[in-house]
């Protein structure tokens, strides 16, 4: 029976990096490409990294009841996934992986309690350093992400599992998450 997993955590914790490693290790695992109204970052491709939508297109999708989950993560920044994408993966027998922020995780778990949620975390100073490196020049974005860390950690306490991802421990983090996925 295919299962749905959610990897979540504060911005800069390495959710995408851990997910990419898991996808390479687990041939039956497929990532849901989520939708967002934010602008693409350098190197991101529409339909691969995210489905980049206008606010109007996202609202239409949500209002039609066509989302598996959706959330306004930061003011004016919406994220969500299409129900049809999730259904297609499950129908083909694949385990499904979501990589979402903690607010999205809370929404998914409320709507779909069978989902296995895994919260990644790292020391605050490491998160700040990673965000400053990644979001160079985007002060407003950085400030919003830093302000959200405490709230995101509070949501993380409600997740099924928690795994630390400190600097230099990626292999151990991936191993720990993969072991969680192997549990019945």
Compute the average pLDDT of residues 44-48. 94
Domains observed in the chain: 4-182 (3.40.50.300)
Q: State the average pLDDT for the chain.
A: 92
Nearest in space to 34 (alpha carbons), one of 109, 96, 122: 96
The CA R_g of the chain, rounded to the nearest whole Å, is 16
| pLDDT surpassing 60 at residue 23 | yes
| pLDDT surpassing 60 at residue 137 | no
User: Which 3 state secondary structure label does DSSP give 99?
Assistant: strand
102 within 8 A of 8, measured Cβ to Cβ: yes
For residue range 165-180, list pLDDT tens digits in order: 999 999 999 999 999 9
pLDDT at 136: 66
pLDDT at 124: 85
- Spatial neighbors of 152 by CB under 8 A, at least 6 apart, are 9, 10, 11, 101, 102, 103
The rounded distance, in Å, linking the Cα atoms of 112 and 87 is 13
Instruction: State pTM to two decimals.
Output: 0.86
> If you ran DSSP here, which 8-state letter would residue 10 be given?
S
DSSP output for 97-158? EEE--HHHHHHHHHH-TTSEEEEEE--HHHHHHHHHHHTTT-HHHHHHHHHHHHHHHHHHTT
- Spatial neighbors of 14 by CB under 8 A, at least 6 apart, are 120, 122, 130, 165, 170, 173
Nearest in space to 163 (alpha carbons), one of 3, 2, 21: 21
Compute the average pLDDT of residues 75-83. 92
170 within 8 A of 17, measured Cβ to Cβ: yes
User: Which 3 state secondary structure label does DSSP give 115?
Assistant: coil
| pLDDT surpassing 70 at residue 140 | no
């Amino acid at each position: 029976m295919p299962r749905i997993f959610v990897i979540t955590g504060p911005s800069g914790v390495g959710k995408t990096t851990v997910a990419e490693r898991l996808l390479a290790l687990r041939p039956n695992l497929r990532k849901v490409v989520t939708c967002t109204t934010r602008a693409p970052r350098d190197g991101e491709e529409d339909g691969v990294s995210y489905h980049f939508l206008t606010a109007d297109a996202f609202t239409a999708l949500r209002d039609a009841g066509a989302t598996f989950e959706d959330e306004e993560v930061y003011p004016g920044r919406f994220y969500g996934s299409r129900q049809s994408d999730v259904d297609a993966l499950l129908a083909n027998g694949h385990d499904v992986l979501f990589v979402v922020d903690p607010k999205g995780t809370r929404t998914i778990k409320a709507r779909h309690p069978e989902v296995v949620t895994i919260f990644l975390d790292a020391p605050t100073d490491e998160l700040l350093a990673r965000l400053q490196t990644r979001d160079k020049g985007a002060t407003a974005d950085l400030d919003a992400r830093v302000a959200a860390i405490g709230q995101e950690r509070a949501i993380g306490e409600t997740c099924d599992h928690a795994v630390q991802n400190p600097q230099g421990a990626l292999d151990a983090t991936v191993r720990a998450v993969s072991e969680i996925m192997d549990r019945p």
